[in-house]
């Protein structure tokens, strides 16, 4: 089991205090979104907050972050990064992200602050780490600082985790079209039901999505192994899944 981590990038300026809201919950007033996420997400124990900062950003934010995280019982790790102004600096940031993930870490990512190019780089690194180190992405979050009916209203935090799923779907479809394997599609379907049931993401929750996904995985494996008798039985089981309840 890996470590619970929260990745964030902070820019080279001071931020005003604000409240943030996520899924009906509202945080206390904080100066940056990652501190709000520590209140708004259910964590199992202490969290290692990994802040990717330039030298100037470290000078501005280190003292405040350290004090707030110590009060909340969380750990702060500061990782120095360049601006990302050219390809060499972008690769340096990419390596910094990958070097701060261990096998099976559970990572939430905040992309509220910092340069707008960095969320794209962060997503690319996450996709790589999900395969290379079996990273468990617990959420991709963006605090909309300009949103809200009034200036003093809580700032909504948007969960963008499904953007990662879209890329995974594209990869699964490519594998199916190129090689005829649909075990990747099956795994995604099975995982989606587990996540929806766990997080309560839908009022009408799927009942048979996981069963459909596991059936597709099984058929794909039997096709690969050339086991025709077992394949026929698995195909019959797939046919009898009630797709109306998926």
Which of 122, 44, 127, 46 is CA-nearest to residue 84? 122
Map residue 233 onto helix, strand or coil.
Answer: helix
Map residue 226 onto helix, strand or coil.
Answer: coil
Whether 33 contacts 143, CB under 8 Å: yes
Predicted confidence at residue 147, as pLDDT, reads: 82
Predicted confidence at residue 203, as pLDDT, reads: 45
- What is the mean pLDDT, run by run of 10 residues, along the chain of 246 residues? 92 94 96 97 93 97 97 96 95 97 95 89 91 92 86 92 87 87 84 70 62 85 85 83 67
Task: Give the side-chain half-sphere CA count within 13 A for 98.
Answer: 16
Backbone angles phi, psi at 83, to 5 degrees: -70, -25
Predicted confidence at residue 114, as pLDDT, reads: 86
Predicted confidence at residue 75, as pLDDT, reads: 97
What is the rounded distance in angstroms from the CA atom of residue 35 to the CA atom of residue 6? 10
Predicted confidence at residue 89, as pLDDT, reads: 96
What is the rounded distance in angstroms from the CA atom of residue 113 to the CA atom of residue 197? 31
Predicted confidence at residue 84, as pLDDT, reads: 93
CA-based end-to-end distance of the chain: 31
Q: Is residue 170 packed enough to be buried (19+ CB in 10 Å), middle (13-18) or exposed (0-12)?
A: exposed
Beta bridge partners of 108: 6, 139
Predicted confidence at residue 176, as pLDDT, reads: 85
Which of 104, 138, 140 is CA-nearest to residue 119? 140
Predicted confidence at residue 2, as pLDDT, reads: 84
DSSP 244: G
DSSP 105: -
């Amino acid at each position: 089991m890996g470590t619970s981590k929260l990745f964030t990038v902070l820019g080279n300026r001071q931020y005003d205090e604000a409240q943030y809201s996520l899924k009906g919950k509202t945080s206390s007033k904080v100066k940056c979104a990652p501190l709000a996420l520590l209140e708004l997400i259910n964590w199992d124990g202490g969290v290692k907050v990994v802040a990717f900062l330039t030298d100037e950003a470290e000078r501005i934010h280190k003292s405040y972050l350290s004090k707030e995280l110590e009060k909340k019982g969380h750990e702060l790790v500061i990782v120095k990064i360049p601006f990302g102004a050219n390809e060499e600096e972008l690769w340096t940031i990419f390596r910094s992200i990958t070097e701060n993930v261990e096998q099976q870490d559970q990572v939430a990512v905040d992309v509220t602050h910092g340069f707008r190019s960095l969320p794209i780089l962060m997503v690319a690194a996450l996709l790589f780490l999900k395969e290379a180190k079996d990273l468990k992405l617990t959420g991709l979050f963006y605090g909309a600082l300009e949103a809200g009916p009034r200036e003093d209203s809580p700032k909504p935090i948007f969960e963008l985790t499904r953007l990662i799923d879209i890329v995974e779907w594209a990869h699964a479809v490519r594998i199916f079209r190129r090689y005829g394997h649909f075990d990747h599609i099956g795994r995604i379907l099975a995982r989606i039901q587990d996540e929806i049931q766990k997080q309560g993401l839908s009022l009408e929750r799927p009942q048979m999505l996981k069963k459909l996904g596991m059936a597709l995985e099984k058929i794909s494996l039997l096709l690969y192994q050339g086991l025709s008798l077992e394949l026929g039985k698995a195909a019959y089981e797939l046919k009898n899944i009630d797709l109306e309840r998926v």
